[in-house]
Structure 1
Amino acid sequence: MAILSEDEAMRRAIDLAVRGLGSVSPNPIVGCVLLDPAGHVVGEGFHAYAGGPHAEIAALAQAGDRARGGTAVVTLEPCNHVGRTGPCSTALVDAGLARVVLAVPDPNPIAAGGTETLRAAGIDVEVGLRAEEAENANIAWLTAVRRRRPYIIWKYAATLDGRSAAADGTSMWITSEEARADVHTLRGTADAIIAGVGTVLADDPRLTVRTPSAGGPAVRQPLRVIVDSSGRTPADARVRDAAAGTWIATTADVGADHRGRVDLTALLTALYDRGIRSALLEGGPVLAGAFLRAGLVDRVVGYLAPRLLGAGPAALGAAGVHTIADAIDLTIVDVTQVGPDLRITAVPRQKEG
């Protein structure tokens, strides 16, 4: 059995947690490593699917009596409520743990309180180990629960000069096959894919995850959400097929903004109420601009092809920026080459003052 420090165990727990991305929503991703009193790893687990055993329960099942007197290292505060499974805080108490080290407190008021339960039982609890790393891994769920709306990732593809299509409207394919495969992996981590009716009318996309399963479990398909103020989505559009669930969101469903279009804030509230915690925004430049103008984009993932068009539609439409001082500033958090293309990931910066 390997011997790990608590810091090393937390790093391992975070690696375990991310295995649940795309399969546990509306629950959080969580990883857990159990150490015996000498620091040997005696159990580990992660939350693999919604309704299934939580990370702590999976790790305890592996450890058995070897966990007694040891330490649980977990990425999120152990839950303290009875849902489809029992409270993990009580399970840790019953297993005889002496210490629990957690990275991030649970912001969900329904499940929070595990720390108090553990301390009341005489267990030593430390909070905050590798908190930033654990937070980043679970950022979509944490942000959604704190804001009561889904975490929104705007994904776009463009040429190096920012064009999403040529002057004649052709856009298949701007980026490489490798980049398109990467997009399907990204789709697989989201609960929903959002596009506008303009994209449906122009391209008739399927908006599904198409990733080879290699004999593994079937791919979980995100909900397809079409922002369609007046219900213009054709009856034979591919987004209406049986490959995944679809919601044609109209003003009659969620209400209208001052322009008579779908109220995006109300739309996201409705999606949250449906259990959607993360969504990939794949609409055209108009819808992307509307989301950015409303301050509803949490992350930007841009795929840039080493090509130049010089004319044609821009990747982003009007976003409420009228002067350079109003620019939406971004912090780049990752740049990766995918085939011949670049994938740039960035997050909007908060305006000072």
Structure 2
Amino acid sequence: MGTSSAEREAMARALALAATPGVPFGPNPRVGCVLLDDDGRVVAEGLHRGAGTAHAEVDALSQVDDALLRQGLTAVVTLEPCDHTGRTGPCSEALLTAGVRRVVHALPDPTEAAGGGARRLREAGVEVECGLMAEEATRLNRGWLHGLRHGRPFVTWKLATSLDGRSAAADGTSRWVSNAASRRDTHRLRGLADVMMAGTGTVLTDGPRLNVRDEHDRPLPRQAQPLRVVVGERPLPGDAAVLDDSAATWVTGTRDLSAVLTTLFEQGRREVFLEGGPTLAGAFLAAGLVDEVVAYVAPLLIGDGIPAAQGLPFTSITDALRLDVLDVTTIGAAPETDVRLTMRPHEKEA
């Protein structure tokens, strides 16, 4: 049958609902739902607000009166309705009970426990379409999907570098390599993660707060902050900025990256934003634990200085880690225009 323009607009809205700021991250996917009538008008919206709360479909259905339900609605959902009973009942059953006649979802649920909702709906006579805005839905839940495949959080390494690849000058100064617009953009990306990570060397040398701040440099509410994680064995002074009360902090006391990521995964953390420390960045890269790179490249030459990553085990150009460029964007106005590169490590053919 295909999907309509109203359903596409509804899916875009459902994705926006799923990404609502302040909704806690965790081991569950982020899901939004929009209900449409026969004329393509929105009659209700819903979203999942975290473990134990109503699923997006049930949240939306709870806002519709019986008269509308009797007409038979279309549910537009970012993820296949679940077909299992956990803390809440199956969304497939809720949709059938409500008399929904058509379901459009972006992604199939890949989990053995919750998958199968689409099949159950079809068997009951409901029209089901899958794949609308699948790319956008995948990006929304990349941490959750990555965790299902790899059993660890998705790691994004952010760096700010000069054109000659330096994160700081020879005397150690680095404020600021990137421009103000890039720094604001960095806080936007921080807010999309549930972990902010740096090494003890960076924390001791630069004194970063590692929190998410608004355009006026004010920290967002504590409940909206990622967990701050400091990797390394050196102790931190009690007055370290990263230990303030603006966000929770875990000082790992270890350099074992796999153990740190395993612990974070077990805690329900799915998105790590790695920022700060060429030594830590080099260790993550060498271990193959970086899934995305966001580089802010400033149009300046520093000369001798500190490289963006240290300790990489490459001695030949044939050994180099190659990246696929996903996006190139200029940020800021001349004469301080940075270039933001978003990249993924290139997957070598088997």
TM-score by length of 2: 0.87
The match for 2:229 is 225
The match for 2:30 is 29
Worse-matched range after superposition: 187-196 or 113-122: 113-122
Provide the C-alpha distance between the structure 1 equivalents of 2:331 and 2:325, rounded to a whole number of angstroms.
17
- Cα deviations by residue, 1:256-290 (Å, 9 ceiling, x for unpaired): xxxxxx22122211110011010100131111111
- Cα deviations by residue, 1:307-349 (Å, 9 ceiling, x for unpaired): 2111100112233322212222212222222222222111111
Select the residue among 257, 272, 278 that pairs with 2:271. Answer: 278
The match for 2:122 is 119
Contact conserved, 1:78 with 1:88, CA < 8 A, in 2? yes
Select the residue among 305, 311, 324 that pairs with 1:331. Answer: 324
- Over aligned residues, Cα RMSD in angstroms? 2.6
Contact conserved, 2:33 with 2:77, CA < 8 A, in 1? yes
Contact conserved, 1:26 with 1:275, CA < 8 A, in 2? yes
The match for 2:341 is 344
Provide the C-alpha distance between the structure 2 equivalents of 1:20 and 1:96, rounded to a whole number of angstroms.
31
Alignment partner of 1:142 is 2:167: no
Contact conserved, 1:21 with 1:29, CA < 8 A, in 2? no
Provide the C-alpha distance between the structure 2 equivalents of 1:130 and 1:249, rounded to a whole number of angstroms.
39
Give the superposition deviation at 1:172. Answer: 1.3
- Where structure 1 has 5 or more consecutive residues not aligned to the other structure, the ranges are 252-261
- Where structure 2 has 5 or more consecutive residues not aligned to the other structure, the ranges are none
Provide the C-alpha distance between the structure 1 equivalents of 2:37 and 2:190, rounded to a whole number of angstroms.
39
Contact conserved, 2:292 with 2:345, CA < 8 A, in 1? yes
Change over 3 Å in CA distance of 1:217–1:246 after alignment to 2:
closer
Contact conserved, 2:327 with 2:341, CA < 8 A, in 1? yes
Aligned residue pair count: 340
Give the superposition deviation at 1:51. Answer: 4.6
SS in 1 for 2:28: coil
Provide the C-alpha distance between the structure 2 equivalents of 1:179 and 1:219, rounded to a whole number of angstroms.
24
Alignment partner of 1:204 is 2:207: yes
The match for 1:96 is 99
Give the superposition deviation at 1:103. Answer: 1.4
Contact conserved, 1:204 with 1:237, CA < 8 A, in 2? yes
Change over 3 Å in CA distance of 1:204–1:62 after alignment to 2:
same
Change over 3 Å in CA distance of 1:219–1:161 after alignment to 2:
farther
The match for 2:195 is 192
The match for 1:320 is 313
Alignment partner of 1:59 is 2:60: yes
Identity of aligned residues (%): 54
Contact conserved, 1:22 with 1:189, CA < 8 A, in 2? no
Change over 3 Å in CA distance of 1:269–1:103 after alignment to 2:
same
Give the superposition deviation at 1:78. Answer: 1.6
Alignment partner of 1:152 is 2:155: yes
Give the superposition deviation at 1:120. Answer: 4.3
Contact conserved, 2:100 with 2:126, CA < 8 A, in 1? yes
Change over 3 Å in CA distance of 1:20–1:116 after alignment to 2:
farther
- Cα deviations by residue, 1:96-144 (Å, 9 ceiling, x for unpaired): 1112121112234443332244334332322223322321232222212
Contact conserved, 1:226 with 1:249, CA < 8 A, in 2? yes
Change over 3 Å in CA distance of 1:7–1:178 after alignment to 2:
closer
Change over 3 Å in CA distance of 1:7–1:241 after alignment to 2:
closer
Contact conserved, 1:24 with 1:48, CA < 8 A, in 2? no
The match for 1:263 is 256
Give the superposition deviation at 1:49. Answer: 5.1
The match for 1:42 is 43
Contact conserved, 2:235 with 2:253, CA < 8 A, in 1? no
Provide the C-alpha distance between the structure 2 equivalents of 1:171 and 1:123, rounded to a whole number of angstroms.
59
Contact conserved, 1:166 with 1:309, CA < 8 A, in 2? yes
Q: Which amino acid aligns with 2:118?
A: T
Provide the C-alpha distance between the structure 1 equivalents of 2:280 and 2:54, rounded to a whole number of angstroms.
39
Contact conserved, 1:165 with 1:174, CA < 8 A, in 2? yes
Select the residue among 281, 300, 318 that pairs with 1:307. Answer: 300
Change over 3 Å in CA distance of 1:231–1:165 after alignment to 2:
closer
Contact conserved, 1:157 with 1:174, CA < 8 A, in 2? yes
Contact conserved, 1:4 with 1:41, CA < 8 A, in 2? no
